Amino acid sequence: MAGHVLLAVVLCAPGPMGLVLGCVARSQGADWAWIPLVAGLACSLPIPFIARTTARRLFPRITRRDTAEEADAFPYGYGDDTFVLRAPGSPKARPEARLTRADVLEAALVRYEPEGEATFTSYPGTHTPNEFTPLVRLRLRVRGDTEVPDGAPDFEVTEEWRVPSVCLSAVTAGRLAVLVDPPGHQAPGKVTPLWPRSALLAGTRTCRVVDLEGRPTDVTRFTGRQLRQMRISEDVGGVVMAGDTIDLRRLDADTAARYAAVAAWARTSPEERAPVTEPGEESRWIVDSLPGAPAAFGSVGRRWSRRGGVLVRGRFLRMIPTHDFQDHGPVLDTLVRIQPPYGTPPFDAARRLTVPMNYLAVLHRTRDVVLYASPNGGSYVIDWPRTCLLAGTAEATVVAPEGREISLAGRTDAIWALMNLLASHGLTNPTRVLDLRRSRMRAVVGSAMDAIEARS
């Protein structure tokens, strides 16, 4: 806050200068002293408001005044497993293009080089500026058309595409929805990824369908059914999702009947839910190349720990892009459900936040977030290093007292227990490796090993 006050003073420099000039003139008995005093006061009034606004944008603190109103929820409510994501639109393909699935075989970050000249950069009128959209080289296996005799066969394509940051998790998950133009004389047609639908097919966005009788069905990661629904939507020009829900009662009779036929097909031909991540994730793991907070067990303020501050968990329920960007991630309008300590009921907070891109790339795995709560429970601050470690952007490792290395990859319960143990003892560990051989860890060695073994 102090730094932003100084910045605001520089930006509004005529105000303080006018006040100084007016005071000097008044001390000398000048009749016109009131003019620079009034002008300086008028120019100086915005300083605290500018400082407070810019500091709040940068610092991810959430308070009770950020509590979302009931009217902010969409008509079907936000369940704990709901995640609503609005993604930038995809380029248009030819009308006769075929919608199908593509598997990501390999991925590599080619370029992400924002200019970085300002803390926040705004782009009115567009949500997908190239400057803040990673360029990724993808090798895809495009699925053929198996529903018709002599349909198009599978084929592979390697190309570079701009991937919206909120859809990076579709690349990591390994499932994309694409449009394939009709083939040419000797080559397959152009492939156009549909990024919002790819996030849906990857399971990042949740999806429910409410039938004509009002019964909801979760179709998240049922890729066969979702592809059929997407084709219907493509034919009729788009089907609106209210949050993460498609309500057949709100559609025209013909479209609702086609969706109902897909539901009947799903009942007669049940499919298994697709995995969270397709095999071969290591060949498309671009998370390490993306900017963002480095994963760590986190830092602890001794005063905060002594006064009874604790770590709590939350979960993102909604992310909506804005026109603002930072170098390490987009600025999103989020809705996060926070679980306060000591059994207090959870509450939903609406807050504009900068979300790191390395966290967005694993959003299909988890939407959990770690916050440290003030001792009085009045405010919560998002801790991105701890959040990234819990999300698995990097592998957490513990070095046992005898020197044995223990991997905690995928063991979120053990990682969470260790984070809380370190925080309660006021111990900072700013890396993803927790070395219990260090003398300052002596007080928690036994409890840490117990926590690891109990959650093995």
Question: CA 406 to CA 176: how far, in whole Å?
Answer: 35
The whole-angstrom separation of Cα 434 and Cα 454 is 17
Query: Would you state the pLDDT for residue 78?
Result: 86
pLDDT at residue 386 is higher than 70? yes
Angle between helices 223-236 and 195-202 (to 10 degrees): 150
Which residue pairs, CB below 8 angstroms and at least 24 apart, start in 129-134?
129/325, 130/162, 131/325, 132/165, 132/325, 132/330, 133/162, 133/163, 133/164, 133/165, 134/109, 134/162, 134/163, 134/165, 134/168, 134/286, 134/290, 134/357
Sorted by where each begins, the domain ranges of the chain are 2-59, 84-284, 291-454
Which letter does DSSP use for residue 422 in this model?
Answer: H
pLDDT on residue 32? 80
> Which tens digit of pLDDT belongs to each residue from 341-385?
877 889 999 999 999 999 999 999 999 999 999 888 788 999 999
Gap between the Cα atoms of 390 and 411, Å rounded = 9
Statement: residue 246 has pLDDT above 80: yes
pLDDT at 185 over 60: no
Give tens-digit pLDDT for 25-81.
878 877 787 787 788 788 877 777 676 666 666 677 888 888 887 656 677 888 888
Average pLDDT over residues 257-276: 95
CB 391 within 8 A of CB 432: no
Residue 247 pairs in a beta bridge with 210
Which pLDDT value is given to residue 149? Answer: 55
> Taking 70 as the threshold, does the pLDDT of residue 314 lie above it?
yes
Kindly state the average pLDDT of the residues 424-447: 93
The two three-digit tokens of residue 236, written as one number: 């009729």
Task: From 142, 153, 81, select the one nearest 318 (Cα to Cα).
Answer: 81
Examine the pLDDT at 138 and tell me if it is beyond 70.
yes
Confidence of residue 145 (pLDDT cuts 50, 70, 90): confident
pLDDT digits (tens, 9 = 90+) for 96-124: 888 999 999 999 999 998 876 657 788 87
Residue 5: C-alpha distances to residues 9, 55, 58 (Å): 6, 9, 14
pLDDT in tens, 170-184: 999 999 999 998 876
Residue 283, pLDDT above cutoff 90: yes
pLDDT at 66: 85
Residue 390 pLDDT class (50, 70, 90 cuts): very high
Residues in contact with 121: Cβ distance below 8 Å, sequence separation at least 6, in sequence order: 114, 115, 131, 132, 324, 325, 326
**Residue 55: its pLDDT value, please?**
63
Cα dihedral 290, 293, 297, 300, rounded to 10, equals 170
Spatial CB neighbours of 283, under 8 Å, sequence gap ≥ 6: 105, 106, 107
pLDDT > 70: percent of the chain:
92
When the pLDDT of each residue in the chain is averaged and rounded to a whole number, the result is 88
- With cut-offs at 50, 70 and 90, classify the pLDDT of residue 396: very high
Q: Environment class of residue 297 by beta-carbon count within 10 Å: exposed (0-12), middle (13-18) or buried (19+)?
A: buried
Percent of the chain exceeding pLDDT 90 equals 59
Listed in sequence order, the residues at least 6 apart from 62 whose beta carbon sits closer than 8 Å to its beta carbon are 336, 338, 349, 351, 371, 379, 380, 381, 382
Higher pLDDT among residues 40 and 233, named by residue: 233
Residue 122 has what pLDDT?
83
Rg, Å, the chain Cα set: 26
DSSP 8-state class, residue 12: T
Q: What is the pLDDT of residue 392?
A: 94
In the chain, % helix, strand, coil (3-state, to 5) comes to: 35, 25, 40
Question: At residue 193, what is the residue type?
Answer: P
Shortest CA distance to 99 belongs to which of 222, 220, 233, 203? 233
Whole-angstrom distance, CA of residue 177 vs CA of residue 151 = 18
Phi, psi of 54 (to 5 degrees): -70, -35
Strands (E), 397-448: 397-399, 405-407, 433-435
Rounded Cα distance between 73 and 85, Å, is: 14
Q: Of the ranges 48-52, 285-289, 317-321, 403-407, which one carries the lowest mean pLDDT score?
A: 48-52
**Size (the chain), residues:** 456
pLDDT for res 447 = 93
Distance CA(60)–CA(349), nearest Å, equals 12
